[in-house]
Amino acid sequence: MKILYVTSEAVPFCKTGGLADVAGSLPPALAEQGAEVAVVLPLYQRVRDRFGSQLKFECYDYVDLAWRHNYCGLFSMEKDGVTWYFLDNEQYFNRGTLYGQSDDGERFAFFSRAVVRMLDHFKFWPEVVHCNDWQSALVPIYLKDDGVREERYRSIKTVVTIHNIEYQGRYNPYVLGELFGLDAGWAKDGTILLDGDANLLKGAILCADAVNAVSPTYANELKMPYFAHRMEGVMRQCSNKLYGVLNGIDMKLYDPRTDGRILTSFSAEDLSGKDACKAELQRMVGLREEPHTPIVAMVSRLVSHKGLDLICEVLHDMMELPMQLVVLGTGDQRYEDFFRWAAQQYPGRVSVRLDYNEDLSMAIYAGADLFLMPSKSEPCGLSQMIAMRYGTVPIVRETGGLKDTVQPCESWRDAGNGFSFANYSSGDMLHVIREAVYLYKDYPDVFSRLRQRAMSCDFSWARSAREYLRIYATITGQAWPLHSSTCRAAETSAEDAAPVEETAPVVDAAPAEEAAPAEETAAPVVEAAPAKETAPAVEAAPAKETAPAVEAAPAEEATPAVEAAPAVETAPAVEAAPAEETAPVVEAAPADEKPAKKTRKTASKSTSKAAKAEKKSEKKTSAKKGTAGKKKSAE
C-alpha cells in the first residue's frame, strides 16, 4: 500500500497544534505496519533553519495555478521508515509563522496544487492520498479536476481527516478561478459552496473517498449543529464514508520510565518518583510544598471552547476544596486576565504561567495529580492521554475524544481511568472535581489504583494505524493486510474502523438514559464527597468577586454558556453510542472485578466499608444530596 500523507505541519519539523503531533506519529506507525509512506509538507523558514542541512535536494519544477507560474523545489529526508518531502517556494513559505497571513488561501492553494503537480517526482505514485484540514483540502478537489482529463489521477483514492471543523478555509466564491484555478462550476453545482462562501473543507469532504474525524464521538457530533460550525448537513450527507479513528500518542516519547525531561522517572508499578516530581513542580511554580494536597492541572490554549468559562464561574468553590491549581497556556486576553487575577487571590494555591513551555508542561504532566479538561468541544484531545501516561488522572467533559478515552471511575469495582461529567455546567464540573479531590484525600489506595489504571491504558499509534489501513483497504478495494501477522490484529479492529453509524439527528437519540449508568455507577465515589453541594455555580462565582478582570470574564461568558446548555444536553445522547465500542482499552482490569450489574446500593456498601467509621453517616447524606443534584442537572 502506497500512501502519501499531506499535512501543513508535523512534529518535529513545525508545530502549531495537535495536527503536528498526529502527522509526526501516524506515518511512521503506518510504515511500521508495512505500508510505504511519504509525507509532504511546505518548506517553512523554521524547517529550513533547523533541518536545512539534513535535507536532500531532489529536483524542481513549475506549478501552474490560475495565471501564476511558480517555482517549486522538492527536498527530502528519510526518517522513521518514512520519506518526508518538503515543497519549497520562498515567496510563500519562507516566513516566520505558519498561518494567519492575509494570503493564506493563495499559499495553501499553491501547496495543494504543487502536491498534485509533484506526484511525478515522488518516490512512488500513491494509491491513497491522505489530506488533513483545510490547508490541504484542495488536493482531493484538484485530483478530481485533473482526473477528468487523465486516468492516472482517477486511480488515486483520497482520505480527508478533520482535526477541527471550526477551520474550513472559507473564501469569496468570486476568487475561485483567480485564486484556486477552479472553474465556476465547482461553486454552481454546490460542491464547494456553503452559505455563499467557497468552502474548501466542504469540497474536500464531498470529493474524498473517505472522511475521518479524530474520534468516534467527534464523528457523530459533527452531524449536529452545536459542533459542526454549519457543516452538519454535509457531514450527514457523507455518513456512509465517515469514520472516527481515535488519535494515539507517541508512547516512547511520553514514557515516565525513560523520559529525560522529567526530574525522576517512575512507573505504574513504582510511583515513588512521581512524589519527587510533585515536590519539584510545587517548588518550580511556587505552590505550597504539601505532598498530600492534590494538584489539579491545566495545560491548554486559553480559548473559549476549552471550557474555561466553567472555571471562571466556580473558581472560589473549587478553591474551598483542599486542592492546588496550576495552569499553563496562552490565549484570549480575558482568560489570561482572569487566571492572573486568580493566582493573586490564592497565592501558594493557584499558580499560573501564561506562556507555552515544553519543559514546564512535562513537569506538570509528571507532577500533578489531576488533569482538568472541561472542553465545550474537543475533537480528540491529546493532553488527557499524555496526562494519563504520567499518572495524572483526567477530569473531562464527555465530548469528542475526551469521552472516548476517559471512562469514569467506579471505585467500588476498581474500574475506569478518570472522572467525567456530561453537561456543560460548572456545577457538574465542580461536583466531579470534588469527587476526585476527596477520593485522593480519603481513599489513597483507591486513588492510586485508579492512577495505575490510567497509566496502563493503550494509546499507542499502532492501534490507530491499523484502523487507518483498514480504511485505505476499503477504499482501494485491497485486502490489506491479509497475509501477515499484523493482519489478524487489523481484522480484529475491523469494526472500529467501520463507518460510524448513521446517527439520526438529535431527536432520535434514544440513549439519553444510556448516559445515566455512568453517572449512577459513579455514585460510590460521590459518597466520598463532602456534605456541602454548592448552589449553581453561576450564582456562586460573582458573589465574591471584586476584581474587574473576573467580573468581565464570567459576565460575558455566563450567558452563552447557559444558553448553550440545551444543545449540549441533547448531544451526549448521540455521543453515547460509539464510546464503548471504540474506547481504548483500560488494560488493567482488576482481577476481582465484580459483575457490572452490581447495584448502586451494594456498591455504596463496599465503599463504605473502606471508609472510616466516623465519616460514614455524614458522607452518605452528602452523597445522596450530591447524586440527587447531579440527576437533576442531567435531566
Q: Which of 330, 432, 287, 322 is nearest to 372 (CA)?
A: 432
Q: Least distance (Å) from ligand GLC to the CB of residue 229?
A: 13
Q: Which neighbouring-strand residues pair with 88? A: 73
Q: Which residue, 378 or 557, is less far from ligand GLC as judged by CB?
A: 378
- Note whether 462 and 432 are within 8 A (CB): no
Q: Smallest gap, in angstroms, from Cβ of residue 428 to ligand GLC?
A: 21
- In the complex, minimum distance from the CB of residue 462 to ligand GLC, in angstroms, rounded to a whole number: 17
CB 327 within 8 A of CB 349: no
Q: Is 409 helix (H, G, I), strand (E, B) or coil?
A: coil
Residue ranges that bind ligand GLC, judged by CB under 6 A? 17-19, 22, 163-164, 214, 247, 378-382
Residue where the block lists cell 448516559: 515
Instruction: Give whichever of 300 and 426 is closer to ligand GLC, judged by the CB atom.
Output: 300
Q: Please, what is the minimum distance in Å from the beta carbon of residue 233 to ligand GLC? A: 22
With a CB cutoff of 8 Å and minimum separation 6, the contacts of 94 are 43, 44, 45, 48
Cβ distance to ligand GLC smaller for residue 19 or 55: 19
**How far is the C-alpha of 435 from the C-alpha of 78, rounded, in Å?**
49
- Is the separation of the CB atoms in 66 and 177 below 8 Å? yes
Rank residues 168 and 247 by Cβ distance to ligand GLC and give the closer one.
Answer: 247
Q: Which of 524, 466, 539 is nearest to 496 (CA)?
A: 466
Nearest distance, CB of residue 432 and ligand GLC, angstroms? 20
The three three-digit cell numbers of residue 369, written as one number: 495529580
CB of residue 464 vs ligand GLC: minimum separation in angstroms?
Answer: 10
Contact 290, 373 (CB under 8 A): no
Question: Closest separation between CB of residue 402 and ligand GLC, Å?
Answer: 9
593 in helix, strand or coil? Answer: coil
Grid cell, residue 529, equals 464527597
In order of 26, 42, 546, 581, the CA distances from 112 in angstroms are 20, 10, 52, 35
Q: Which is nearer to ligand GLC, 22 or 268 (CB)?
A: 22
Residue type, 238: C
Of 247 and 521, which CB lies nearer to ligand GLC in the complex structure? Answer: 247
390 touches 457 (CB < 8 A):
no
Sorted by sequence, the CB contacts under 8 Å of residue 498 that are 6+ apart come out as: 243
Could you tell me whether strands 56-65 and 68-79 are parallel, antiparallel, or unpaired per DSSP bridges?
antiparallel
Output 112 or 384, the one with its CB closest to ligand GLC. Answer: 384
Closest CA to 588 of 337, 415, 375, 369: 415
> Residue 541 is placed in which grid cell?
462565582
CA-CA distance, 512 to 233, in Å (whole number)?
23
Rounded least distance, CB 218 to ligand GLC, Å = 8
Cβ atoms 349, 342 nearer than 8 A: no
Nearest distance, CB of residue 194 and ligand GLC, angstroms: 21
- Considering beta carbons, is residue 113 or 163 the nearer one to ligand GLC? 163
- Nearest distance in Å: CB 216, ligand GLC: 13
Of 125 and 356, which CB lies nearer to ligand GLC in the complex structure? 356
- Measured distance CA(372)–CA(614) in Å, rounded: 31
Helices (H), 52-199: 90-93, 104-117, 138-147, 151-154, 176-180, 185-188
Q: How far is the CB of 375 from ligand GLC (least distance, A)?
A: 8
Query: Cβ closer to ligand GLC: 22 or 40?
Result: 22
Choice between 18 and 203, CB closer to ligand GLC: 18
